[in-house]
Amino acid sequence: MSVTSKILYIPEPSTKRVVIVGGGFGGLKLALKLLKFDFQIVLIDRNNYHLFQPLLYQVAMSGLEPSAISFPLRKVLQNTKIHFRMAELEAIHPEKKEIATDIGYLNYDYLILATGAKTNFFGNEAIEKNSMQMKTAPDALFIRNRILKNFEKSLNKEKREEISAYLNVAIIGGGPTGVELAGAVAEMKKYVLPKDYPELDMNNMKIMLFEASPRLLAGMSEDASATAKKYLEQLGVEVRTNTAVLNYDDRLLTLPNNESIQVKNVIWAAGVTSSKIAGFPDGVYGRNNRLLVNRFNQVEGHDNIFALGDNSLMVEDAFPNGHPQVAQVAMQQANLLAYNFRRMERKSPLKPFTYRDKGSLATVGRHLAVADLPFGKFKGYFAWILWSIVHLLSIIGVKNKIFVLLDWTWKYITYDQALRLLIKHKARY
């Protein structure tokens, strides 16, 4: 640990200080909601931007630039009294009401942890080392670079099996990320790559989606799962359920029954976990290192420390294993927590959280999507329109919305994705 002994300077408040760690959906919404109350608000994040993660796969597939789905936190916080610091949380000292970061330590009256989740490799070090993940903007750019670079390398190979290894794409994990990514790769193979690489026989390229459980999109209805599988297969994706990937050594993907596949492009999207925070005992963590919280989002054993969103585990009758790790949970928890802060200050009873499931959406490709909504289940063109509208409206910033809409419109009209740039970092190549 590299915790510094320096004080992270924030002007001493005349009121209570609320420290929020994480500028994602939940943390940012809570910070803005608390502006109406008499608190000093400090927002801490390792990045200086808010990232719209649901569209990361389009960055990875050359459909969008990272700037289109990122928004500077300091721009969001302009004309507010929120203090922002770009820092990384390293430890918590609850007995001192203090956090330690890589740029200094800071006292708090209330602490909210909205640090999100990271990729879960389930302890497989070989897969973690050799595969690609997609949780951050640099991850998405790395995927874009790796796939494009491998296509360039394939042009210099003579044997068919070598060419296929550089062209093949394997995606592990059949949740929304894996399904949407597989569909995007399939559309690139159909509409874009044959024009960019006329020397290559695209029949040598296989797109494979592996899921360890019996079906795709486990959080959605069986009808949505079956429909998504049918759409992917129509696009030429080889979908294999009940298939757990055992190992990957940067060339051979090992499957059960001693089966192996040569592939240089492997993307791991098979689950998420949270990072443990120094200062908390093991007893406050539940499944996948999520912090155990009560119905008021208070971390177990701590009245003034809260966790919300992906890194929290709250049990309701309808969700005995915790809520799904989606943006709607974090945003609804942030709304209620802001309301409960006022009640805490007034020493009034707090209102327990109840999640209102607004439904789930997943897209596979042009005119191909599935939607499980409270008012019905949809698929095809209508579900695709719903998915597009919901995601477009959820992006922060009018400029970003316009950029995404323009890119989508261009792609729809031309069947092209114009951002196929292989951007190299000189020191790494």
Other C-beta atoms within 10 Å of 219: how many? Answer: 14
156 CB-near residues (< 8 Å, 6+ apart): none
Q: What three-state secondary structure class fits 133?
A: coil
Active-site residue identified among 90, 180, 187, 211? 180
d(CA 216, CA 177): 11
CB contact at 8 A, 105 and 96:
no
246: Cα separation from own chain's centroid:
24
Distance (Å, whole) CA 121 – CA 206: 24
Exposure b/e, 84-110, CB count within 10 A at least 16 = b: bbbbebbebebeebbbbbebbbbbbeb
Active site annotation includes 199: no
DSSP state of 132: B
Going across the sheet that includes 252-254, the strands are: 247-248, 252-254, 260-262
Which residue reads 């009121």 in tokens?
Answer: 15
Query: Looking at the annotation, which residues are catalytic?
Result: 180
